[in-house]
Amino acid sequence: MEDTLQKNWTPTSWLEKPIKQLPEYPDQALLDESFETLKTLPPLVTSWEIEALKNKLAQVSAGKAFLLQGGDCAESFHLTKSSKIVNMVKVLLQTSFILIHEMGVPVVRVGRIAGQYAKPRSQDFEEVNGQKIHNYRGDLINGFEATKEARTPDPRRLIEGYHKAGLTLNFLRALADEGFADLHHPEQWEMDFMKNNQYYKEYEAMVESITKAVRFVDAISPDKFATLQKVDFYTSHEALNLYYDSAQTRKVPRKPGFYNLSAHMVWLGNRTRDLDDAHVEYLRGIENPIGIKVGPPFTIDDTLKLIETLNPTHEAGKIVLITRFGKEKIENGLPSLIKAVRREGFPVVWSADPMHGNTFSAANNYKTRNFDHILDEIKSAFAIHRSEGSYLGSVHLELTGDNVTECVGGAKGLNESELDINYETFCDPRLNYQQSLEMAFLVSKEWKQSYS
Ligand code: PEP
Ligand code: CO
C-alpha cells in the first residue's frame, strides 16, 4: 500500500482527471452497478504471467529477443467464434515461427485479443437521417448499428466484454497448449500466393525447413511439441475504457502494487497520452508492461516525461515504445526521438507500428492500407535504428488469419477494385493471412540485415 499512497494513486484516481475518448454514460446507477459487478469477477490473467511477460520484454529491450504484437484493430462481441480465434492464433503462431526461424532469437507473442473492444474516434457524434447520434466506439461502449438507441453508451457492455474476453482467452489457452495439429502439415502453409514474389525460392526453403524442424521435434518426442510451445502467448488491448480496466485492477497476495488482471499488457493510444489526463493517471499506477503509441503530433519533451511518469524506476521490460509515424514522416521524426530516449537512459522496447500512419481512402471510399507503404515504414524504421545504433525489437501489426480484402498489395497484388470482395473490419484495415506471412518474412529480412 505504501507505494501507492506515496504515489497518491488508486485504481480510480483517474476519475478526477479530464477524460478523453470516453463518452459519458447516461445512466449513472447502471454504470455503478456494472462497475461493482465487474470488480467482483475473477481475474482473466495472473500477476505471475504478467511478470513473466515483463521479464521477456526485458530480454527484448536488451536485444536478445523479438516482440510480435498483432491482431484485430477492434474485436467484436458477435465474432467471438471458434473459427476466428483458431485463424488468429494460427496466423500469429505461423508468423512468429517465420521470425524465429529467420532471426534465430526467441519471439514473444502478444495478441491484440481478448479485450480489444474499445476504439478512439476523431468525432464524438455523427449525423444519420438528420439525427445526431454517438459515433461507434467499439463493442465495449456502444453498438455498431447506426441508431440512437444502439449508439447510446451502455455500461452493461463492460460485463459482456469481460465474458467475451474470458471465452476467447479460455480457447486461446487451450489452443496454445496443444491445439496446433495444423502446424504439422506443410499444406497448411499455403505457399502458392508467393509464386509471383522475387523471394519465392527463399520462402519455399524456409517453410520446408520449419516443417522439418516441427516433424523432428515431433518424432523424437511426440508429447514435447505441445509442451515446448506452451502458453508463450500473451494478450493486450488499448487501455481506453478505464472503467473496464480499473474494475479489474487489483492487489494480489505477497506482491507490491496493483495489477490490471484483464490482460497481460495494455497500451496508451496516440490520442489519450496527455500527461495531465485520466489515461496517464490510471496507467502510472499499474505493474503491467505498458505500450505507448507515439506519432504525430507529439513533442520529445512530453514523450520523455510520459516514459518517466509511467516507469519512474526505469524497470526494463516495462515500456514498449510503439512508433507510428507514417512512411513520410518517420525519417524526420524517429532519429531525434531515439537520441533523446537514449540520452535519458530509458530501457524501452522499440516497436514499429507501420499501420496507423499509412491509412488512406481508396477511390471507392474503402479505408485501406498499401502493403508497400507498410513495408516502407518498416524498412525506414530498421534503417534508422540501425544507423542510430539502436535495437528495433518489435513490430505492431493489424492482421487477421482470415482471407479478407482490406489492405491492397502483397504478393497476390490485391487492388483497390477488389476491396469489396471480403471487407470485414469494423475499424481499420488488416493484413490478411497471406499478407501477414509475407510481411513476417520481409520483416525478418530487414532485421537480419540490421542485427545479424
Ligand atoms: C490502434 O492501435 O488501433 C490505434 C487506434 O492506434 P493509435 O492510437 O496509434 O492511433
Ligand atoms: Co487500428
Closest ligand by atom to 112 CA: 1
Check if 293 has its Cβ closer than 6 Å to any atom of ligand 1: yes
- For the CA of 119, the nearest atom of ligand 1: 5
Name the residue at shortest CA distance from atom 2 of ligand 1. Answer: 73
Distance 310 CA to ligand 2 centre (A): 23
Name the residue at shortest CA distance from atom 4 of ligand 1. Answer: 269
197 pLDDT above the threshold of 50: yes
Structural domain includes residue 397: yes
Secondary structure string (H, E, C) spanning the chain: CHHHHHHCCCCCHHHHCCCCCCCCCCCHHHHHHHHHHHHHCCCCCCHHHHHHHHHHHHHHHCCCCEEEEEECCCCCHHHCCHHHHHHHHHHHHHHHHHHHHHHCCCEEEEEEECCCCCCCCCCCEEEECCEEEECCCCCCCCCCCCCHHHHCCCCHHHHHHHHHHHHHHHHHHHHHHHCCHHHHCHHHHCCHHHHHCCCHHHHHHHHHHHHHHHHHHHHHCCCHHHHHHCCCEEEEEECCCHHHHHHCEEECCCCCCEEECCCCEEEECCCCCCCCCHHHHHHCCECCCEEEEECCCCCHHHHHHHHHHHCCCCCCCCEEEEECCCCCCHHHHHHHHHHHHHHHCCCCEEEECCCCCCEEECCCCCEEEEHHHHHHHHHHHHHHHHHHCCCEEEEEEEECCCCCCCCEECCCCECHHHHHHCCCCCCCCCECHHHHHHHHHHHHHHHHHHHC
**CATH code for the domain of 411:** 3.20.20.70
* Cβ-Cβ contacts under 8 Å for 27 (sequence gap 6 or more): 155
Name the residue at shortest CA distance from atom 3 of ligand 1. Answer: 73
Check if 269 has its Cβ closer than 6 Å to any atom of ligand 1: yes
Band (203; pLDDT cuts 50, 70, 90): confident
Backbone φ, ψ for residue 39 (5° rounding): -65, -25
Structural domain includes residue 265: yes
- Mutate-to-test residue for ligand 1 from 356, 358, 374, 428, highest number of ligand atoms within 8 A of CB: 356
At residue 182, the pLDDT reads: 57
5 pLDDT above the threshold of 80: no
Structural domain includes residue 61: yes
Distance 2 CA to ligand 1 centre (A): 34
Check if 157 has its Cβ closer than 6 Å to any atom of ligand 1: no
Structural domain includes residue 212: no
The three grid cell numbers given for residue 143, joined into one nine-digit string: 453498438
Closest ligand by atom to 121 CA: 1
- Mean pLDDT to the nearest integer, 293-301: 98
Band (228; pLDDT cuts 50, 70, 90): very low
43 pLDDT above the threshold of 80: yes
- Mean pLDDT to the nearest integer, 343-369: 97
- For the CA of 120, the nearest atom of ligand 1: 5
The proportion of the chain whose per-residue pLDDT surpasses 70, expressed as a percent, equals 93
At residue 394, the pLDDT reads: 98
Reported pTM: 0.96
Check if 73 has its Cβ closer than 6 Å to any atom of ligand 1: yes
Closest ligand by atom to 116 CA: 1
Check if 296 has its Cβ closer than 6 Å to any atom of ligand 1: no
Of 18-32, 64-78, 92-106, the one with minimum mean pLDDT is: 92-106
Check if 373 has its Cβ closer than 6 Å to any atom of ligand 1: no
- For the CA of 270, the nearest atom of ligand 1: 8
Which residues lie at CB < 5 A from ion ligand 2?
Answer: 73, 428
138 pLDDT above the threshold of 90: yes
Closest ligand by atom to 430 CA: 2
- For the CA of 73, the nearest atom of ligand 1: 3
252 pLDDT above the threshold of 90: yes
343 pLDDT above the threshold of 90: yes
Band (220; pLDDT cuts 50, 70, 90): confident
- Mean pLDDT to the nearest integer, 111-136: 96
Structural domain includes residue 264: yes
At residue 227, the pLDDT reads: 46
- Mean pLDDT to the nearest integer, 295-311: 98
- For the CA of 322, the nearest atom of ligand 1: 9
Q: Give per-residue pLDDT as tens, 68-100.
A: 999 999 999 999 999 999 999 989 988 998 999
Structural domain includes residue 186: no
Closest ligand by atom to 69 CA: 1
At residue 199, the pLDDT reads: 86
What is the average pLDDT value for the chain, to the nearest integer?
93
Check if 120 has its Cβ closer than 6 Å to any atom of ligand 1: yes
Check if 324 has its Cβ closer than 6 Å to any atom of ligand 1: yes
* Cβ-Cβ contacts under 8 Å for 326 (sequence gap 6 or more): 295, 296, 357, 358, 377
Name the residue at shortest CA distance from atom 10 of ligand 1. Answer: 270
Higher pLDDT: 52 or 203? It is 52
> What is the tally of structural domains in the chain?
1
Q: Give per-residue pLDDT as tens, 161-193.
A: 999 999 999 999 988 876 565 566 655 677 778
Structural domain includes residue 125: no
- For the CA of 396, the nearest atom of ligand 1: 2
At residue 184, the pLDDT reads: 61
Structural domain includes residue 135: no
Domain that holds residue 305: 2-120+154-181+230-451
At residue 446, the pLDDT reads: 97
Q: Give per-residue pLDDT as tens, 253-286.
A: 999 999 999 999 999 999 999 999 999 999 999 9
